[in-house]
Amino acid sequence: MVRTSLSLGLFASLSFLAGTHASARCEDYVPQAKPQNASRDIVGQDLDTIRERGFMTFAAYEDFAPWSYEQNGQIKGVDIEIGRLIAADLGVEARFNLVSAGETLDADLRNWLWKGPIVGGSVANVMLHVPYDSEFACRIEQVVFTGQYHVEEIAIAYRKDAYPEPDEKPIPAYFRFDKVAVENDSIADFYLSSFPGGQLAANVYRYANYEQAMGGLDRAETKAAMGPRAQLEFSLTEAMDIHTPPLPGFGVGKWTVGVGVHFAYRPLAYAVDDAIYSAMQDGRIARIFADHGLTFTPPDLR
């Protein structure tokens, strides 16, 4: 199944929040009605039950290299390795369910953490790769947002032969004349297509995913590619380089990634957070990123 709009699903809510100007965190928020624990999937979520049965379940996005994907029948990726180290720290087996991205992050959290999908599948103990925003977090009372482990950002990959001068790295304005690859219907696609006043739209080349976009860049179909840094780095070749220039008018160009846990199971959330913090302190998470050839940017947890 081809993933076409994961970026929009993850950031639709966060982009809205980036444009708000409340003077205090959640100042304008009206608490929701308390959710009812009526789902058939609610059994087996607490920490004691997880340890007793010997395994825990993780929801991770499908077709989302280098974070979570299936290759030759094996589930792989940075998020998958982080899930495994969490489970190991709790002394249980990790089991993964690769899920499709919904239209919004709210929908994904509802489907895979606290209510369950309408058809097929079930909630998980932990959802991986959940973007964190403090304003958004206080509006989704059913989820504990914890275990922050990386700061991702939008970047531009480019062919070295197209921009040979050291000080000539491409910025969005260059794409008035130069072709740039993006994932179709991604946040980079919408940004470049609409800024400034649609002047770049003719040079935006859309691909089904970032691996294909980077393949187009490698074949010189375009001079550059724009998207989340890790997804570009995953397919980077010796003929390419990458940088993170200023992006005027970009609402959410950088974001923190963590995990989500059902609000009713805080001891589990604390245990997961402790496992991730320990793995960050002793370098295990940094090694996971290095093993995948990715830049690791730890979040500021002060």
Residue 14 has pLDDT above 70, yes or no: no
Task: List C-alpha distances in Å: 225 to 12, 159, 203, 232, 267.
Answer: 22, 9, 11, 8, 42
pLDDT computed for residue 157 by the predictor: 98
Tokens of 112: 């895979």
pLDDT, averaged across the chain: 87
* Tokens linked to 68: 């979570």
Residue 7 has pLDDT above 60, yes or no: no
pLDDT recorded at residue 198 = 85
Helices 266-281 and 78-90 meet at what angle, rounded to 10?
Answer: 110
> Mind listing the pLDDT tens digit for each residue in 263-274?
999 999 999 999
| Tens-place pLDDT, residues 155-199 | 999 999 999 998 899 999 999 999 999 999 999 999 999 877 888
Q: Report d(CA 104, CA 32) in Å as an integer.
A: 18
What is the spatial distance between Cα 116 and Cα 196, in angstroms, rounded to a whole number? Answer: 41
Query: With bands split at pLDDT 50, 70 and 90, how would you rate the model's confidence at 104?
Result: confident
Q: What is the pLDDT of residue 129?
A: 97
**Does 39-151+253-291 match 153-243 in CATH topology?**
yes
- Take residue 300 and report the two structure tokens written for it: 């500021």
Mean pLDDT of 249-278: 93
Q: What is the pLDDT of residue 243?
A: 97
- Rounded Cα gap, residues 168 and 157, in angstroms: 13
* pLDDT-above-70 percentage for the chain: 85
pLDDT tens per residue across span 61-79:
999 999 999 999 999 999 9
Statement: residue 17 has pLDDT above 60:
no
Contact residues for 279 (Cβ-Cβ < 8 A; gap 6+)? 82, 85, 89, 149, 285
- Second-level CATH architecture of 153-243: 3-Layer(aba) Sandwich (3.40)
So where are the chain's domains? 39-151+253-291, 153-243
Of 16 and 151, the structure prediction assigns the larger pLDDT to: 151
CA distance 152 to 42: 32
* pLDDT at position 25: 61
CATH code of 39-151+253-291, in short, is: 3.40.190.10
CA 22 to chain centre: 26
Tell me the average pLDDT across 23-34. Answer: 60
CA–CA distance, 292 with 217 (Å, rounded to integer): 20
The whole-number pLDDT of residue 32 equals 60
> In the prediction, which pLDDT does 38 show?
46
Residue with tokens 């794409």: 175
